[in-house]
Amino acid sequence: MGTPNGELKKTQQQQQAASVAKTAATNEDVEMGDDEAARADADTLTLEDIKEQVRHIEKAVQTKETRFMTRTVRSLVPLRRRLNEAVLLRLAQAYFPGVSPSKDAFLAFLSAASSGSGQSAQASRRLLPETEVFLHLLLLLHLLDSNRQAEAVSCSQLLWQRTGQFNRRTLDMLTARAYFYYARSHELAGQLSTVRPQMLQRLRTCTLRQDWHGCATLTNCLLRSYLMDRLLDQAARLVDKCAFPELAPNHELARYHFYLGRIRAAQLQYSRAAQHLQQALRKAASGQRALGFRQICTKLQVVVQLLIGETPDRQAFREQGLRRPLAPYLRLTQAVRSGRLAEFNTVLRDNAARFKADNTWLLCVRLRHNVIKVGVRQVALSYSRISLVAVASKLQLDSAEEAEYVAAKAIRDGVIEATIDHKAGTLSSRETADLYGTAEPADQFQQRINFCLQVREQSVRAMRYPPKKYTEDLESAEERREREAAELETAKEMSEDDYDDF
Amino acid sequence: MTLTSAAGVLALLEEDDSDLKSFALSKLNTLVDVFWPEISDSVSKIEMLHEDRNFPQSKLAALVASKVYYHLGAYDESLFFALHADELFDIDDSAEYVETIVCKCIDRYIKNRVAQIDEEVTELDERDEQIRAKLEGVINRMFERCFEHRQFKHAVGIAIDMRRLDILERCVQLTSNKDELLNYSYRLTVQVVQNRKFRQQLLQTLVRLYRQLQQPDFVSMSQCLILLDDPPHTAEILERLVSRSEDEALTAFQIAFDLYENASQQFMQRVHTALAASPLARRPAGDDAAAAPAAAAPSASEADADADVDTAAAAPDAASTAPKTPPPQAEEMMTTDSSEVDEAAKERFARLLTILSGEKVIQLHLQFLIRNNRADARYLDRLRESVRNSITHSATVTANGFMHAGTTSDQFLRDNLEWLGRATNWAKFAATASLGCIHRGHETESLRLMAAYLPRNSAGTTAYSEGGGLYALGLIHANHGSAVTDYLLQQLSGATAEPVRHGACLGLGLAAMGTARQDVYEAIKLSLYQDDAIVGEAAGLAMGLVMLGSSSSAAVKDMVSYAKETQHDKIIRGLAVGVALTMYGRLEEADLLAQSLLEDKDPILRWSGVYTVAMAYCGSGSNSAVRRLLHYAVTDTSDDVRRAAVLSIGFVLFKSPEQVPDLVSLLAESFNPHVRYGAAMALGIACAGTALKEAINILDPMTQDAVHFVRQGALIALGMVLIQQNGVNCPKAGEFRELCLKVVADKHEDVMAKHGAILGLGIVDAGGRNVTISLQTRTGQSNMAAAVGVLVFQQFWYWYPLTHFLCLAFTPTSLIGLNKALEMPQVQFRSNAKPSTFDYPPPLVTQVEKKKEKVETAVLSITAKQKRKEQEKKKTAAATAHQNQPGGSTTAAAATATSASGPAAAPVPSIPEGKETPAGSETSSATTAAAAPAAAASTETSTKEPAPASKSQGTLTDKPATVSTGTSTDKPGPEPNFSLLSNPCRVMRAQQRLVTLEGGRYQPVKSVTIGGIIMLRDRRPDEKESLVPTVKAHGPTSANSKEDDLPEPPPPEPFQWSDDML
């Protein structure tokens, strides 16, 4: 399972374990012995945090401002680490109205509910759909984290049905998360391919309702499901026929680009694949977050770059957290760069298992050709004219014919600037053209400018203008007027004084 | 094992056997939701199958293709194929696919129909042609479903969107609640349908449907007819109602009042002519003059004779005399139907005519304004004291005109004649014209009132005051001027001096507003062609006024071509406004003209284009118009155009004032002061009288703006927004008055801002605090005169005398109940709100006199008592006159009264020429003084007459608001939750919905919560009615209240008697 979500999960779980250990340690420091009370305190704190998020949700619904909702969605990750049954039970009691089917469904997943600490605190207000989905999501996360997969699947199905009943734009972000965990829980249970029709249908609904978050998430889930089943063709078709929403959040965009990269690489469109992978890395979270995603993405990128004929940046292999996982790829790069077929073959042999696990094996195998191409290039650069037999021996090819074939392919692909003299059986290189005389630098420059402009445009769009901020200047305008009036007055007085003097 | 690809099924499509293909298609139909990305690659094959005529399952192919396109997001294609799938496309299915396609279907159909009907595109897309019939089939099926579920409102809404009148009719036929559905359709028609042509069709249909009702809703029907501009039918309805019964005549009267409120002058005239042709109108030749509206213009002598006689009494009087002495001709003409019933009907018909001619409405409003005048002269005094400059002086006079608009109280001018004498030249013109504001609607005596200023008696007057006099005459008769139009025409042709011709043009424009009278138009055009800047400006404006809303292409051509020819900016400006006025309310008809003007290189013409858009889309709330205006507001190079464009937004959106603050909030912060000014005015226009908090929040900081004219605009706009508000409902109103006084008194303040503050103060207390500014009538239609008034008022930027036009926009906030004889019976209305909420603002407290406040409440009852005495005197006089012969003793009395005052004495203050002080003011006050004892004498006899019941009622009702004010100020106890208002009462917009009719005797014809003039049905017709006495113009109220406002002399100090004192 070399897909990014798996990696993501792994790192998250590691982090979670670390944080749990940490909190446990601090708890031990503060409250010796009385473990029960400490846990109750922690629960209360968690509960308060969740209540805070619910307030954010209410505010978001009231003001129709998405930024509050973004904050809530972001809080899901830290919150899930601190969840437990007791907290969820208390949440259900606090928020769900007295008797309702959704409450029963909610409580059915909590084993503690049956024992029933009967705190039937009446919900004060009507339960917002947003809040309900949020609480339901927390429950689903808890089930996933405690490895109750079967229950998680049924819980996610309930949530799926519930979210289908609403058509509220304020709900979009939360439903998008719900879709994701729906797919995730089915994947863990090994049933992802069975829910594809449902997801396709919901994708259509989301498109019609212009729910861009849902669209983006569902497209990614579908792609993932296709790729898992190696239905590359289907995935490619879906990508071609569906426009990915421009307003999609960054993390979905990163995933989408990664999947696209995989699809394009498999379709032999390496340069496009490279672009997508670069975008994916750019959009991915930086630092130590989403490390797994970056690892898998970089691996693929290295291979694709090699396939284009580029040499990956050395820096990429040195980055913290990437060095060890990328070590085989470093060796691969070195082999390709040197153009030595024997060395390449040994690297492949040694790391076959690793590459297969990373889903890059097939691409790596394709690299053989590149190794030869690099060899040809080096030969073409070194000799202005060389016989094809010599080329064959240098490249460890079987015959001069094969060398001719390789050279011809390289010329056609634009790898080398050379001509083949059939009769003489030689390969003669042309003078290398002055690159600066061509439009190439201008094109490169234009590309960079476009990129910068795009970044700028995006940041301008992301800017917020606080409402009614502009009225603050008005006080100063009034002051200025007063000052002017006073100045006029003094000027008048002065001129009068002048007259007095005469 | 789940299927992972549809490739196998798709391969079957390549087979030759059609059975295999059919099987593949039916399989694909189930798979399409999951494998659409794959199937979409082969969609062309499926399409070919659909087009293959030999293929048995071509419809299924269409369905599959439709579904594929649906998933691909190509909804047009999808719709196309879905329609070709015919019965396979099941619209009753609740699947998302079906719902979406049906929605698209409706959208497409609406688009096609709108293109077909509104834009008259006869040739549709080839593709659209193909599916048209099928589209209609689906739509009809949708409607059937609506009918089944009895969702008639949905059906009506969509039918109107689709321009399907047949569906509308069917809905109305099928529904059980026809009234509600029709009213709903009417509302949609007026508010939503933007296209003028279709709206006409729709209205015609509605009228037909209204007619088919068991009990036709004549009130709504007449509303439609106004919009349809169909006077003959309106006349027919009125005639039918009047001729039927007394009860239905009340409805007719009510309709007539509504008509007068909503319809244009031209429309009313045509209703008149139509009515005049009816058999009921055939009356003795001698009385024709009184009945025929065109000839209703009283000659000067008649006006004198009627001076003291109430016209309300005169009208039925004339009517009642008519049947008594029918001349032989009439007898011959209708020998068969001269029964008693007919006579009663004739009488009712005569009453109807007085309403339609507008006399009754104007007279009732005048009565209301005179009776309830609460203008606080102390503000004016404060202004007068702090004014130092000719601009502010002139503004103060104008503000006085606003404050007393329609109240006929010119006491302030009388009291300050010497101060008034400082006005010279054009200031004098404006000052004279302000009398027109004050006496607005006082039509019967207009010529006599203004006699001192009119050119005929120009012994000592100057051209400026003569011109002002003519302008004032126009203001008095604005939008109802058949009586003076000819007089003004004659003056225009006779005059030579510029100011006189200027005034005559303005006056003529006002009086003949919207009549499109060719002779008037030609006369004004002649003045224009003399190419005199001053006269030309007024002439251009007047041409527009005369042709108001006619969209006459000849007039537009005249004006635009002359505007391009002339060198004078003033003339171009006049014409620019004129052109805009011509296109009033014509919606998209004006688009071409507006576009050509907006693209002109002359900024004044672009400015005219902006106003043309404003007037054409006045009150329509049209998005395209707003977008256009906003575009010019931010892109034009000329400041004038930008200012006008922002300001015009107010005109377009005045029916939804709550939208405007949001829209202009950014513009109000523009770097360009002209745009800021425009934003302020847009708020003032759109939110006038609403006291909308958001609007005030934007305007408030603008009163401190760095640029003087922005402050001016903000102050005026605030005045408009806060008009009539007291400090309780809107605390800002009190502060605003203070602010204005502060600005005016501030030595360092710019004169423009002072001008704004003075006008703002005048506007906020306009019409004796009994009027509001409203660009729409009570029924929500655009008030043409008001829109024109506000638009021309905005031209004060260039020409101060045009400020007076604002008084056209003043609408009395009255609630007047009338009985079948069109008299005001004494009834009470109950306002279910704390009296203080809608009370008049408290009078200005000055530091010198603290008692004033207290005195006012005590005094009012006296005034009321005196008023009543006079009324009773008049009533007895009228009664005696009625018994004897018409116009007997009263006319004699009036004659003596006028003779006493002497021919030279005008009952208005004359503005002194230079230093000469006239004796006029003294003599006129002498007349009023002389009238008082006479009134007292006659009341002696009449007080016994009324029944005791009515007497007690009288004392109750005669002090209208004192009941409430008394409790709120005197008693510290809790304020009552309601107040009682007696018949002609002030009811503010917000108060309307809280008002109910008190007492069981009368029943309103329509809901009293609408306000305005309401006919009351008498449930006990046998009992004697007690009527509200009428008050005399600028007589008792104005003169007395001024005196009453002064503090009573304090009682003498306690003293001890001693002989030394002798």
Interface test with A, best of B96, B702, B739 (most A CBs within 10 A): B96
Question: Is residue A382 situated within a structural domain?
Answer: no
Interface test with A, best of B71, B77, B694, B707 (most A CBs within 10 A): B71
Distance from CA of A178 to the nearest CA of B (A): 21
Between strands B979-982 and B828-831, the pairing is antiparallel
Structural domains counted in chain A: 2
Q: Chain A contact for B72, CB < 8 A? A: yes
Strand order in the sheet with B985-986: B985-986, B814-818, B1012-1018, B1002-1004
Q: Which of B407 and B888 is assigned the larger pLDDT?
A: B407
Angle in degrees, CA B342, B347, B349, rounded to 5: 90
Span B577-605, average pLDDT: 91
d(CA A167, CA A202): 12
Q: Chain A contact for B94, CB < 8 A? A: no
Q: Is the pTM of this model over 0.90?
A: no
Angle in degrees, CA A357, A358, A364, rounded to 5: 105
Is A81's pLDDT higher than 50? yes
Interacting residues of B604 by C-beta distance below 8 A, sequence separation 6+: B563, B569, B572, B573, B576, B640
Distance from CA of A239 to the nearest CA of B (A): 9
Strand order in the sheet with B995-997: B979-982, B828-831, B995-997
Question: Is residue B1004 situated within a structural domain?
Answer: yes
Q: By mean pLDDT, which of A373-382, B695-704, B1048-1057 is the weakest?
A: B1048-1057
Biggest CA–CA distance in chain B, Å, is: 142
d(CA B580, CA B541): 10
User: Which pLDDT belongs to residue B126?
Assistant: 67
Using alpha carbons only, how large is chain B's radius of gyration in Å? 34
Of A281, A277, A287, A449, the C-alpha closest to A363 is A277
User: Which pLDDT belongs to residue B49?
Assistant: 86
d(CA B292, CA B297): 10
Is B945's pLDDT higher than 50? no
Q: Quote the tokens at residue B396.
A: 């103060």
Is A274's pLDDT higher than 80? yes
Interacting residues of B1031 by C-beta distance below 8 A, sequence separation 6+: B367, B370, B371, B867, B870, B871, B1037
Note whether A99 and A176 are same-domain residues.
Answer: yes
Per-residue model confidence as pLDDT tens digits over B473-510: 999 998 888 888 888 888 888 888 889 999 999 999 99
Q: Of A201, A242, A478, which has the smallest distance from its Cβ to B704's Cβ?
A: A478
Q: Which of B35 and B263 is assigned the larger pLDDT?
A: B35
Span B215-239, average pLDDT: 80
CA dihedral angle for residue A331, residue A334, residue A336, residue A338, rounded to 10 degrees: -140
Span A282-291, average pLDDT: 81
Q: Which of B1021 and B30 is assigned the larger pLDDT?
A: B30
Per-residue model confidence as pLDDT tens digits over B408-437: 888 888 888 888 888 888 999 999 999 999
User: Which pLDDT belongs to residue B139?
Assistant: 86
Helices (H), A313-387: 315-318, 323-338, 341-357, 361-382
Of B402, B376, B403, B390, the C-alpha closest to B429 is B390
d(CA A56, CA A70): 10
Q: Chain A contact for B37, CB < 8 A? A: yes
CB-CB neighbors (< 8 A) of A489 in chain B: 748
Average pLDDT over chain B reads 78
Is A205's pLDDT higher than 60? yes
Q: Which of B148 and B865 is assigned the larger pLDDT?
A: B148
Q: Which of A190, A219, A235 is the last residue of a domain?
A: A190
Q: Which of A362 and B214 is assigned the larger pLDDT?
A: A362
Q: Quote the tokens at residue B476.
A: 């008095």
State what percent of residues in chain A have pLDDT above 90.
14
State what percent of residues in chain B have pLDDT above 70.
78
Q: Quote the tokens at residue A384.
A: 């202005």
Contact indicator for B995, B830 with CB cutoff of 8 Å: yes
Q: Of A193, A470, A481, which has the smallest distance from its Cβ to B706's Cβ?
A: A481
Q: Which of B675 and A247 is assigned the larger pLDDT?
A: B675
Is B923's pLDDT higher than 50? no
Task: Report residue B1059's pLDDT band, with 50, 70 and 90 as the boundaries.
Answer: low
Q: Which of B523 and B219 is assigned the larger pLDDT?
A: B523
User: Which pLDDT belongs to residue B442?
Assistant: 85
User: Reduced to 3 DSSP states, what percent helix, strand and coil does chain B have, rounded to the nearest 5?
Assistant: 65, 5, 30
Q: By mean pLDDT, which of B177-181, B365-369, B471-475 is the weakest?
A: B177-181
Q: Which of A334, A365, A396 is the last residue of a domain?
A: A365
Q: Which of A316, A347, A365 is the last residue of a domain?
A: A365
CB-CB neighbors (< 8 A) of A207 in chain B: 73
Chain A residues with at least one Cβ partner in B under 8 Å: 193-194, 196-197, 200-201, 204-205, 207-208, 229, 231, 233-234, 237-238, 240-243, 470-471, 474, 477-478, 480-481, 485, 488-489
Question: Is residue A342 situated within a structural domain?
Answer: yes
Contact assignment for B33 to A470 by CB distance below 8 Å: no
Question: Is residue B933 situated within a structural domain?
Answer: no
Question: Is residue B826 situated within a structural domain?
Answer: yes
Question: Is residue B819 situated within a structural domain?
Answer: yes
User: Which pLDDT belongs to residue B524?
Assistant: 92
Interacting residues of B286 by C-beta distance below 8 A, sequence separation 6+: B327
Note whether A168 and A76 are same-domain residues.
Answer: yes
Contact assignment for B37 to A237 by CB distance below 8 Å: yes
Q: Chain A contact for B601, CB < 8 A? A: no
Question: Is residue A200 situated within a structural domain?
Answer: no
Span A122-145, average pLDDT: 81
Note whether A73 and A179 are same-domain residues.
Answer: yes
Q: Of B33, B37, B701, which has the smallest distance from its Cβ to A471's Cβ?
A: B701
Sign of the four-CA dihedral B237, B238, B240, B244: positive
Task: Report residue B323's pLDDT band, with 50, 70 and 90 as the boundaries.
Answer: very low
Span B127-147, average pLDDT: 81
Is A452's pLDDT higher than 90? yes
Task: Report residue B747's pLDDT band, with 50, 70 and 90 as the boundaries.
Answer: confident
Span A285-307, average pLDDT: 87
| Burial class of residue A1 (count of CB atoms within 10 Å of its CB; 0-12, 13-18, 19+) | exposed
d(CA B421, CA B398): 15
Contact assignment for A234 to B40 by CB distance below 8 Å: no
Q: Show the domain range for B999.
A: 813-841+977-1032
Note whether A261 and A185 are same-domain residues.
Answer: no
Question: Is residue B227 situated within a structural domain?
Answer: no
Q: Of A200, A207, A477, which has the smallest distance from its Cβ to B73's Cβ?
A: A207
DSSP-based three-state secondary structure for B699: helix
Contact assignment for A478 to B100 by CB distance below 8 Å: no
User: Which pLDDT belongs to residue B815?
Assistant: 87
Structural domains counted in chain B: 1
Distance from CA of A490 to the nearest CA of B (A): 12
Q: Can you list the positions of beta strands (E) in A366-473?
A: 385-387, 418-421, 426-429
User: Which pLDDT belongs to residue A117?
Assistant: 47
Could you say which DSSP state residue A423 is in? T
Question: Is residue B125 situated within a structural domain?
Answer: no
Task: Report residue A128's pLDDT band, with 50, 70 and 90 as the boundaries.
Answer: confident
Is B336's pLDDT higher than 90? no
User: Which pLDDT belongs to residue B961?
Assistant: 40
Note whether A78 and A166 are same-domain residues.
Answer: yes
Interface test with A, best of B34, B40, B100, B665 (most A CBs within 10 A): B34
**Given its phi and psi angles, is residue B441 left (phi above 0), alpha (psi -120 to 50 degrees) or beta?**
left
Question: Is residue A168 situated within a structural domain?
Answer: yes
Contact assignment for B71 to A204 by CB distance below 8 Å: yes
Per-residue model confidence as pLDDT tens digits over B864-888: 677 777 777 777 666 555 554 444 4
Could you say which DSSP state residue B1035 is in? S
Span A170-199, average pLDDT: 90
Is B685's pLDDT higher than 90? yes
Question: Is residue A104 situated within a structural domain?
Answer: yes
d(CA B394, CA A425): 108
Interface test with B, best of A204, A219, A231, A483 (most B CBs within 10 A): A204
* Interface predicted TM-score (ipTM): 0.75
CB-CB neighbors (< 8 A) of A208 in chain B: 96, 100
Note whether A47 and A186 are same-domain residues.
Answer: yes
Using alpha carbons only, how large is chain A's radius of gyration in Å? 32
Cα–chain center distance at B183: 21
**Residue of chain A whose Cα is closest to the Cα of B671:** A470
Is B1042's pLDDT higher than 60? no
User: Which pLDDT belongs to residue B953?
Assistant: 40
Of A93, A78, A69, the C-alpha closest to A45 is A78
CB-CB neighbors (< 8 A) of A242 in chain B: 37
Q: Chain A contact for B337, CB < 8 A? A: no
CB-CB neighbors (< 8 A) of B41 in chain A: 237
Interacting residues of B388 by C-beta distance below 8 A, sequence separation 6+: none
Distance from CA of B13 to the nearest CA of A (A): 20
| Burial class of residue B196 (count of CB atoms within 10 Å of its CB; 0-12, 13-18, 19+) | middle
d(CA B353, CA B335): 24
Task: Report residue B133's pLDDT band, with 50, 70 and 90 as the boundaries.
Answer: confident
Task: Report residue B313's pLDDT band, with 50, 70 and 90 as the boundaries.
Answer: very low
| Burial class of residue A271 (count of CB atoms within 10 Å of its CB; 0-12, 13-18, 19+) | middle
Biggest CA–CA distance in chain A, Å, is: 117
Q: Chain A contact for B706, CB < 8 A? A: yes
Highest mean pLDDT among A19-33, A60-74, B303-317, B965-979 belongs to: A60-74
Contact assignment for B72 to A241 by CB distance below 8 Å: yes
User: Which pLDDT belongs to residue B304?
Assistant: 38
Of B537, B459, B443, B454, the C-alpha closest to B500 is B454
Q: Show the domain range for A118.
A: 40-190
Amino acid of residue B875: K
Interface test with B, best of A241, A263, A476, A482 (most B CBs within 10 A): A241
Q: Which of A285 and B856 is assigned the larger pLDDT?
A: A285
d(CA B60, CA B65): 9
Amino acid of residue B517: R
State what percent of residues in chain A have pLDDT above 70.
85
Question: Is residue B833 situated within a structural domain?
Answer: yes
Q: Which of B954 and B770 is assigned the larger pLDDT?
A: B770
CB pairs under 8 A between A and B: 57
d(CA B394, CA B499): 17
Q: Which of A484 and B22 is assigned the larger pLDDT?
A: B22
Is B929's pLDDT higher than 50? no
Span B622-640, average pLDDT: 92
d(CA B247, CA B251): 7
Q: Chain A contact for B38, CB < 8 A? A: yes
Question: Is residue B1005 situated within a structural domain?
Answer: yes
Per-residue model confidence as pLDDT tens digits over B115-132: 877 776 666 666 667 777
Amino acid of residue A315: Q
| Burial class of residue A485 (count of CB atoms within 10 Å of its CB; 0-12, 13-18, 19+) | middle
CB-CB neighbors (< 8 A) of A193 in chain B: 2
